[in-house]
Amino acid sequence: MTTKTDWISLIEASYNLDGSEQDWLDLLFDCAEPLLDPGVARGAWTYRCTPTTFQLGRYPTRSPKLLRVIHRAAHAAAPQKWFDLTYRSGYVLGTGREIIYPHLPETIRLVVGLTGGRARDVFMAGAQSGTALGIAFGVWLKDQRCPTPLERKRWPCISAHLGAGLRLRAATRRLQLDAEDVEAVLDSGGKVLDARVQATSTSARELLREAVRRIERARTAQGRSDPDAAMESWEGLVDGRWSLVDRFDTDGKRFVIAVKNDPAHPDPRGLTPREREVSEFVGLGRTTKEISYTLGVSFSAVTNLTTQTQAKLGLGSRAELAAFFAPAGLRAKLAELAVSGERLLFGAYPLVNKRQIEKLTDAEREVVAHLVAGSTNGDIARRRGTSENTVANQVYAIFLKLGVHSRAELAARLQARD
C-alpha cells in the first residue's frame, strides 16, 4: 500500500489494463486512499447504475468485512431518492451535508446508526463510464462538511480518467498493437510509429504527438510536484476520441497506443457522436470547462456543439438541453415506436419538477421557471418588474437552497425523480 500523496499515480492507475478487475480496484484504492480525508473509515467500490436499476459490485481486497457489511446495509436501507441524488445526479463528488441531507434529512440518523455514532457525514467521489459502470471512493466523516476547494478542483479531473479507464477495461482486458480500436502507436517521445483510421491525418498525428509529450512531462518528478498543472495538461481524451495507454513489447520497450475510447450513446435525433457526448455531460450538470477537459476538445468546440444540439432538438437554451439529457430527464424516458416504417422517439416531461422546489418561496419558484426556460437575469427582471440586482440575489438564494452552481446544473437536478 502506498502512503505517498500522488494524484498523477491515480491517473496512471486508471489506464492500467493488467490483471483482473479486482487487481485494478485494489491498485486504484491504494493510490486514492492517501488523497482522501482520513475520516472514520475509507473505502472504494464498483457499481452498475442505469436510470432504473442499481447494483453494487466489488470492494478492495483489504477492505474490512465489517465495513463492507455496513456499506451494503446502508444501500439496502436507502430510499430510491438517495440513489438519484448520489449516483444519478451527475455529481463527481459531494458530502451528505451538501447533496443528501437537504433533501433527505432523515438519512443523518441512518449514518449515525450504522456507524454506532462514530460518523455524522459521508464523502463520496468517483466516476461513471457513460456505459452504466461506475467506481466510487467514500469516507465516513466524524463531522458534517462540504467538499473543500482543493477537492472540487482535483476530483473532477480524476473522474474524467477513471471514466475512461472503466470504458477501456469493459471493452478489453489486454490490448494488442493490431487490435481494431488501436488507431496509433507512438514511442515515449511522441514519434508516431503507426497510424490508421482517424489517426492518419496530419492534424490528428500532431495532436497525438503533443498529447504524449504533455503526459510524459506530467509523469516526471517535477510534473508530480505540481499536480494541478499536470492534471490540466493530461486531459481525459485526446480530441474526444483516444485514450493513451502504455504497452510494453517482449524486450521491455515502452510504447504509447492511442485507443478509440469515446463514450457511445444512443442517438435520439440525428446527433453526431460528438454532439451526443457533449450533451450527455451537459445532462450531468458539467460545465463547459469540465466537458472540454473530459473529452479533450477545445472550449469553443464544446460551446458550438452545445448550440448545434439545441438547434437539432428544438431546445431554446442550455438549461433545456441539460433537462433533456439529465439521468432522469426526458432522454431516459423516451419510448421508441414504429410509425410508417420510421423509428421515432416519443415522450413528454414537465419543465419544472414541483416537488424539487417546495423549499423555495413563490417568487423564487417563478424565477426558477424563467431560468429553466433560458431567460437571462435582465429578461426576468423586465418580466417581473424588478431590478437585475434583485434577480441576481434570488438566483443566488435558489442555487444555495438547491445545492447547485449553474443554470444547467439546476435544470439537470430538477429532473431527478421524487
Q: How would you write the pLDDT of the chain (418 residues) with one tens digit per residue?
A: 444 689 999 999 999 988 899 999 999 999 999 999 999 999 999 999 887 789 999 999 999 998 899 899 889 988 888 998 899 887 899 999 999 999 999 999 989 998 899 999 999 999 988 778 999 999 999 999 999 999 999 999 999 999 999 998 887 766 677 778 899 999 989 999 999 999 999 999 999 999 999 999 999 999 999 999 999 999 989 988 999 998 877 677 888 999 998 876 555 556 788 888 888 888 888 889 989 988 888 999 999 999 888 887 777 788 888 887 877 666 555 544 444 444 444 444 445 556 667 788 888 888 887 777 667 788 788 878 888 889 989 988 888 888 888 877 787 777 655 5
Residue the block writes with cell 450513446: 265
Confidence at residue 371, expressed as pLDDT on a 0 to 100 scale:
78
Confidence at residue 416, expressed as pLDDT on a 0 to 100 scale:
57
CA–CA gap between residue 371 and residue 405 (Å, rounded) = 13
pTM of the model: 0.73
Q: Tally the C-alpha atoms within 13 A of residue 328's C-alpha that lie toward its C-beta.
A: 23
Look at the chain and count its residues: 418
Residue 141's H or E segment, with its range, is strand 133-141
CA–CA gap between residue 316 and residue 310 (Å, rounded) = 7
CA–CA gap between residue 387 and residue 395 (Å, rounded) = 13
Residue 133's H or E segment, with its range, is strand 133-141
CA 157 distance to own-chain centroid? 9
**Cβ neighbours of residue 377 closer than 8 Å, sequence gap 6 or more:** 388, 391, 392, 395
CB-based contact 14:126 (threshold 8 Å): no
CA–CA gap between residue 305 and residue 280 (Å, rounded) = 12
CA–CA gap between residue 231 and residue 6 (Å, rounded) = 11
Q: Which of 79, 75, 134 is nearest to 103 (CA)?
A: 79
Confidence at residue 345, expressed as pLDDT on a 0 to 100 scale:
47
CA–CA gap between residue 197 and residue 182 (Å, rounded) = 9
Confidence at residue 376, expressed as pLDDT on a 0 to 100 scale:
77
Domains and CATH numbers, the chain: 7-171 (3.30.450.80), 182-260 (no CATH), 273-346 (1.10.10.10), 354-413 (1.10.10.10)
Q: Which of 100, 50, 52, 94 is nearest to 74 (CA)?
A: 100
Residue 372's H or E segment, with its range, is helix 362-372
Confidence at residue 15, expressed as pLDDT on a 0 to 100 scale:
93
Confidence at residue 343, expressed as pLDDT on a 0 to 100 scale:
47
Residue the block writes with cell 416531461: 349
**Cβ neighbours of residue 333 closer than 8 Å, sequence gap 6 or more:** 347, 349
Q: Which of 410, 271, 415 is nearest to 347 (CA)?
A: 415
Strand order in the sheet with 182-187: 192-195, 182-187, 254-260, 242-248
Confidence at residue 269, expressed as pLDDT on a 0 to 100 scale:
52
Summarize pLDDT for 260-307 with one digit per residue, the tens: 988 765 555 567 888 888 888 888 888 899 899 888 889 999 999 998
User: What are the two backbone dihedrals, phi and then psi, of residue 299, each rounded to the nearest 5 degrees?
Assistant: -60, -45
CB-based contact 192:212 (threshold 8 Å): no
